[in-house]
Chain A
Amino acid sequence: MKADAKAKPPSRRVTGIEKSPTGISGLDELTYGGVPKGRPSLLCGSAGAGKTLFGVTFLYKGAVEFHEPGVFITFEERPEDLIQNVGSLNYDLQTLIAQKKLAIDNVHLEPAQIAESGDYDLEGLFIRLGDAIDSVGAKRVVIDTVEALFSGLENHALLRAELRRLFEWLKEKDVTAIITAERGEGTLTRYGLEEYVADCVILLDNRVQEQLSTRRLRVIKYRGSAHGSNEYPFIIDEQGITVMPVTSTGLAHRAFTERVSSGIPDLDAMLEGKGYFKGSSVLVSGMAGSGKSTVAAHFVDSACASGERCIYFAMEESPEQIIRNMRSVGIDLKRWTDKKLLSFKARRPNFYGLETHLAAMHRDVAVFQPAGVVVDPMSALIGTGGASDVHSMLLRLVDFLKERAVTALFTNLSVGPAESTTSVQISSLMDTWLQLYNRESNGEHNRQLYLLKSRGMAHSNQIREFILSSDGIRLRDVYVGPAGVLTGSARVAQQAQDNAAALVREQEMQRRSRNLERKRREISAQIEALQAQLVSEVEEDTLINREDVARENQLVADRDVMGRSRQTGATPAKQHLKAAKKSNARLEKQ
């Protein structure tokens, strides 16, 4: 038994300090598990920074999710008010109190009523706290805001000694405590409580920049534990507190070889016939009215059609308006919102600060788990912060989305006539960059699309004209003239010219082949005539020869007759006959 008891503590030390999860999404990640278990932590921030809500969330989540009952000691708010205030977040404290999972004690000090005479201590507070802890078997304690004692009691030296004792006492009680404190001028807390609660200090901040407030949280120190040391934005809304550990997580995200269609078959053809890479970021830049949103809508439409979820962050248009506008180019986004595949998040850029936007996007993505995300237009955010802020925010957003293999499409409104005005810092973060132009030529504006870059694939380098039709975006064939790519009516004119030239060529060819045919026929007629002549001449020749032979034979025969009549020898006549026969045979051969 003794050996067992002795063996335990060292193994505990090896695993590091024990932590108690706060249940506040994001905070537990960045503290690697929560606040130190069995110790007090200090939560400081100015008025309205969210300290009380933070504390209530810690207790509520503790009771509901981690089966750790809690005690809330409030110096400022009456319990009824507190219960009512967090009721809007669906924190049902009343039920928790009834279930003996939560105890609320309101310590009320009325300075005007209290006179001090001689030595005292805060044993009354200890007794109340102890009683409350025992009544529910509390593992968690929140004291909000203990500094109220300083305004209620005069003897500050005594008070400090008592607070020190309180924090030690809380440790002995083995409760995980959160002590809130008001932020002072140039100090973390107005009364220097950080001297006493030194294990973990969390600072809440609500800064206003260009009239937009951004809530931020920072873990200032955390003894015995690693923690994210940056400032993290957090949001308070109907879903409670959400802290966003939005640091750039480096470049360790996976590279996918899978492809995601752009939703425009002709554009896919320019991208090796397959589309964007999954998990890549696509920038669509262009001037007003160049069709950026339509390109984005095509992407969303195609992703939803294949059963994937998408979030459309609309910065300038309402969802209704986008749906209506896209219907005019034959894209029905309504069906996807109805099927809950597409979620519109319409937020004015100046609705809140940049960090809060990012935090909200993070949460939306984490909740909805989309495969594709559209930010339309990304450039709207630039007004809400400095260029470097926007850059860093987008960097983190891009990293975050890549990590989750979310294909992201950002539209960017370029100002000015040239296409090169897209913010260069942003474009370097992007994997694929589509530029849309609206060029003037021949007294009309025509839309052009150019694939400026697309990392990791052999993409087309052509500038293509595209047309917004009732069937969406269609790319036209390339017509290159002396002044570059021909578009609009110039293209039509060129097309007509080409057609005419083709017709002329066709006719020329037909005429040539007709001539040839005629010549061929003439020649063959000549050949026929010559052959006929040859035949008749051969026949003539044969006839003459035959007549010659006949004549010769007749001559021989006549001579024979004559010889016989003269009674001369037959021999010479026979010799003549033989010679005649020979010449006859020769003729036959011929």
Chain B
Amino acid sequence: MKEPEGYNLRLYVAGQTPKSIAAIANLKKICEKHLPGRYEIEVVDLMKDPALARRHQIVAIPTLIRQLPEPLKRIIGDLSNVEKVLVGLDIQPS
């Protein structure tokens, strides 16, 4: 398998809600399994910086944005459906 550049993922949450916690956990699990060692996760809590929601066009929570590699991709939800996450992030299951 060709080694692509690293994944830069940003997850937007709003406080410590069950959905947020589930999303963080799900994301970590998927990345560990399919992108070991070549991912970076940034969790943004909009409760702490509400202005970011507007700047980054966030409507649904949680929202996952693939910053890198290009193009930008968005996935909303608690990421419980692994298949959809993999398709959404364009990750080849390992």
Contact = CB atoms under 8 A, between A and B. Distances in A.
Given A115-B73, A117-B88, A123 B14 contact: yes
A481 B77 CA distance: 99
Contacts of A117: 75-82, 84-85, 88
Contact of B57 (A107, A118, A132): A107
Interface in A106-152: 107-109, 113-125, 127-128, 130-132, 149, 152
Interface string B70-94: 0011111111111011011000000
Interface string B42-84: 0000110011011001111111000000001111111111101
A220 interface: no
Contacts of A125: 59-60
B77 to A, nearest CB: 4
A105 interface: yes
B50 A120 contact: no
Given A117-B81, A118-B81, A128 B50 contact: yes
A107 B54 CA distance: 8
A118 B12 contact: no
A105 B79 contact: no
A109 B50 contact: no
A122 B14 CA distance: 10
A153 interface: yes
A141 to B, nearest CB: 15
Given A121-B60, A122-B60, A122-B61, A127 B77 contact: no
A564 to B, nearest CB: 181
B10 interface: no
Contact of B88 (A107, A115, A124, A130): A115
Nearest to B55: A128
Given A117-B88, A131-B53, A132-B54, A124 B79 contact: no
A117 B89 CA distance: 11
Question: Interface of chain B, helix or strand or loop or mixed?
Answer: mixed
A120 B61 contact: yes
A97 to B, nearest CB: 14
Contacts of B61: 120-124, 127
Contacts of B79: 117-118
A207 to B, nearest CB: 35
A109 B57 CA distance: 8
Interface string B11-53: 0101001010011001000000000000000000011001101
B47 to A, nearest CB: 7
Given A113-B73, A117-B75, A120-B60, A131 B50 contact: yes
Nearest to A155: B77
A122 to B, nearest CB: 6
A116 B51 contact: no
A121 B14 CA distance: 10
B75 A115 contact: yes
A115 B74 contact: yes
In the complex, which of the residues B14, B54, B81, B84 has the most CB atoms of chain A within 10 Å of its own CB atom? B54
Interface string A266-286: 000000000000000000000
Contacts of A114: 74-76
A152 B75 CA distance: 13
Interface string A69-109: 00000000000000000000000000000000000010111
A131 B54 CA distance: 9
Contacts of A108: 57
B90 to A, nearest CB: 10
Contacts of A124: 12, 14, 46, 53, 58-61, 63
Contacts of A128: 50, 53-54, 58-59
Nearest to B83: A117
In the complex, which of the residues A107, A122, A124, A152 has the most CB atoms of chain B within 10 Å of its own CB atom? A124
Nearest to B54: A128
Contacts of A149: 59
Contacts of A127: 14, 46-47, 50, 53, 58, 61
A112 B58 CA distance: 15
Contacts of B84: 115-118
B64 to A, nearest CB: 8
A131 B53 CA distance: 9
5 contacts: A118-B23, A123-B61, A124-B59, A128-B59, A152-B59
Interface of A: 105, 107-109, 113-125, 127-128, 130-132, 149, 152-153
Question: What are the 10 A-B residue pairs with the smallest beta carbon separation, nearest first?
Answer: A115-B88, A118-B80, A118-B77, A124-B58, A123-B61, A131-B50, A117-B84, A118-B78, A117-B81, A117-B77
Interface of B: 12, 14, 17, 19, 22-23, 26, 46-47, 50-51, 53-54, 57-63, 72-82, 84-85, 87-88
Given A117-B80, A118-B84, 9 more contacts: A114-B76, A117-B82, A118-B80, A119-B19, A119-B22, A122-B61, A123-B61, A124-B60, A125-B59
